[in-house]
Amino acid sequence: MPEHRREERLVADATAQIILPTHPPIGCRILDVSWSGARLRVGSVLGIPDTFRLATRTITEPIPVKVVWRGANELGVAYL
């Protein structure tokens, strides 16, 4: 399968939370990251909107992101 990414992705394997305005945070794992986005593993992509904020222990303010692709248990997100 050809690689279509413009940037190199680095393995991350970090815990994070999907922050939604009207629901409790959803736990996830950041599998890899690049300068423009990340790949997340979640229990299910159902109910996760197209835009949300992504929080980790290492950043002070959650990052706004948009979903650019969805799999059964993974999301590709781009930083906004």
Q: What was the pLDDT predicted at 4?
A: 58
Note the pLDDT tens digit of each residue in 15-73. 999 999 999 999 999 999 999 999 999 999 999 999 999 999 988 899 999 999 999 99
d(CA 16, CA 1): 29
Strands 51-55 and 37-41 come out as unpaired
Which class does domain 10-79 fall in? mainly beta
Banded pLDDT at 3 (limits 50, 70, 90): low
* DSSP state letter for 20: -
Question: What residue ranges do the domains of the chain occupy?
Answer: 10-79
Banded pLDDT at 8 (limits 50, 70, 90): confident
